[in-house]
């Protein structure tokens, strides 16, 4: 319910919305299963690579910003900051219906379009080998969504998790640590626009995984690390591929023609009715 309220409230007529169209080339399908106590993963030789367009949309206004934090790690001090954007959604892919269809009847309805959008940036001050002046800024960008379902019965816990994501790493202009700041909304858009036409190898992933684990008498799931034989079964399907950003645009509200082209016109209609109510 909270997610539905959030989605309805963030897409107002005056909200600045980012619409990003990407080209995905699905290149590989892997399957996993449990064999003699270990998880075996194999490539499916019958998988035919396919290309499709994918819409990613999120609100640009009022992001959640986590201030700069300092942590110590191997090689020295690590400065990090993160920015999360609300209202993230993606269109479905040619594989979404099949994968989501593997969730058993009666499980909570997944919202496969709901997506977390974030930009995490970090820079490292090499304390053991000091570097004067500006230092490199690394940026991790993610568009990720999905859901999980679990049931416990007869001493076994069954968990099914579905996910769809586009994640890639990049770099921003070097800055001195004293000037390292969270990325603003405008800077994030400019950063994404600078990546238009670049291929991010292996950045796309869509998957569904099922685990069956033994439980303790009270019904608590035994951690695999604590009990090697706790995992009774595992089956998974992973589809991965390369991504190239086609366009990044800031619009006052979702473009109806673009939503229709990617099968999301019904979502736009519901939102407009809510706004009119």
CB distance 248 to 196 below 8 Å:
yes
CB distance 162 to 144 below 8 Å:
no
Q: What is the pLDDT of residue 17?
A: 92
Domain range list for the chain = 2-276
Alpha-carbon gap, residue 228 to 223, rounded angstroms: 8
Greatest alpha-carbon pair distance for the chain in Å reads: 62
Q: Note the helical H segments in 42-87.
A: none
| Structural Rg of the chain based on CA atoms | 21
Task: Name the CA dihedral angle for 196, 246, 182, 127, rounded to a multiple of 10 degrees.
Answer: -50
Full-model pTM: 0.76
pLDDT tens-digit profile of 150-165?
A: 888 888 888 888 999 9
Q: What is the pLDDT of residue 227?
A: 58
Alpha-carbon gap, residue 236 to 206, rounded angstroms: 11
Identify any residues that bridge with 32 across adjacent strands, giving them in sequence order. 41, 236
Phi, psi (deg, nearest 5) at residue 134: -70, 150
Alpha-carbon gap, residue 180 to 138, rounded angstroms: 11
Q: Which helix (H) or strand (E) holds 276?
A: helix 265-276
pLDDT tens digit at each of 277 positions of the chain? 333 333 333 333 456 899 999 999 999 999 988 877 778 889 999 999 999 999 999 999 889 998 888 876 655 677 889 999 988 888 999 999 999 888 877 666 556 567 788 888 887 655 544 556 677 888 999 999 888 888 888 888 888 889 999 999 998 888 888 888 888 899 999 999 999 999 999 999 999 998 888 877 655 665 544 555 677 888 899 999 999 999 999 987 655 445 545 544 444 444 444 455 5
Q: What is the pLDDT of residue 229?
A: 64
Three-class SS state of 180? coil
């Amino acid at each position: 319910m909270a997610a539905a309220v959030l989605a309805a409230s963030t897409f107002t007529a005056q909200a600045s919305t980012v619409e990003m169209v990407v080209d995905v080339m699905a290149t590989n399908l892997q399957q996993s299963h449990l064999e003699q106590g270990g998880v075996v993963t194999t490539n499916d030789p019958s998988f035919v690579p396919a290309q499709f367009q994918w819409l990613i949309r999120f609100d640009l206004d009022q992001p959640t910003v986590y201030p700069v934090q300092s942590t110590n790690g191997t090689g020295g001090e690590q400065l990090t900051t993160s920015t999360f954007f609300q209202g993230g959604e993606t269109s479905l892919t040619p594989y979404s219906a099949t994968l989501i269809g593997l969730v058993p009847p009666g499980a909570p309805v997944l919202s496969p379009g709901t997506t977390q959008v974030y930009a995490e940036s970090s820079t490292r001050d090499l304390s053991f080998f000091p570097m004067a002046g500006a230092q490199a800024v690394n940026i991790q960008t993610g568009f990720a969504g999905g859901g999980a379902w679990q049931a416990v019965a007869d001493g076994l816990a069954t968990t099914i998790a579905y996910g769809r994501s586009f994640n890639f790493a990049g770099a921003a202009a070097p800055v001195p640590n004293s000037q390292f700041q969270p990325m603003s909304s405008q800077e994030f858009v400019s950063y994404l626009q600078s990546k238009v036409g670049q291929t991010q190898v292996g950045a796309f992933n869509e998957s569904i995984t099922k685990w069956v684990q033994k439980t303790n008498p009270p019904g608590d799931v035994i951690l695999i690390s604590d009990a090697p034989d706790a995992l009774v079964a595992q089956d998974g399907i992973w589809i991965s591929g390369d991504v190239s950003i086609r366009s990044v645009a800031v619009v006052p509200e979702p473009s109806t023609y673009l939503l229709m082209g990617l099968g999301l016109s019904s979502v736009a209609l519901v939102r407009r009715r809510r706004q009119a109510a």
